[in-house]
Amino acid sequence: MKYARLTKEQFEEMHQEFINFLATQSITAEEWEQIKKDKPEAAEEELDIFSDLIWEGVLNKVEYLEHFSPQQIFLFRITTATIELIAIKVENEAIDITTREGYQWLQTNLMDDAVNIYTSTKAISEDRNKDIFALIKQGANITQGELYQYFQKVVQD
């Protein structure tokens, strides 16, 4: 398995897609029930293959990721060749930017000495999607990139 198995809830949400996936392999609903009962390891393998296909489809479309922690925000822009990072670090442990108050403080005090903004770029490895998945496993969320674009303007000015 290349990524991670979908959760039970995710499988339930993708019920129709999974049925279509089984159909592409000429597996009927009755045959699927039989496979689950008689060959649980084969059923597990089908679930893993389906999960990887779904992850591949999702990861292929990812352009932006965000990761928030109490004192840091990591904003990623993924291109075909690079992962660009804008990191915002608050050097005041009394401020927790994962809270509404802390985030509002950051918005108001962006130019404060306690706020540091860093940028970095690194080359994508041979497996772009695996790079993205590693960031997701570390807690990053897929986004539309509004925050990245906002901070990109801040950094450029």
pLDDT value at position 156?
A: 82
pLDDT value at position 66?
A: 97
pLDDT value at position 152?
A: 92
pLDDT value at position 56?
A: 93
pLDDT value at position 155?
A: 85
Q: State the CB neighbour count (10 A cutoff) for residue 145.
A: 17
DSSP states of 65-92: EEEEETTEEEEEEE-SSEEEEEEEEE--
Structure tokens at 22: 């089984």
Q: Which three-class secondary structure state does DSSP give residue 75?
A: strand
pLDDT value at position 91?
A: 94
pLDDT value at position 1?
A: 87
Nearest CA to 77 out of 6, 146, 23, 156 is that of: 146
Q: Which residues of the chain have pLDDT under 70?
A: none
DSSP-derived secondary structure letter, 5: P
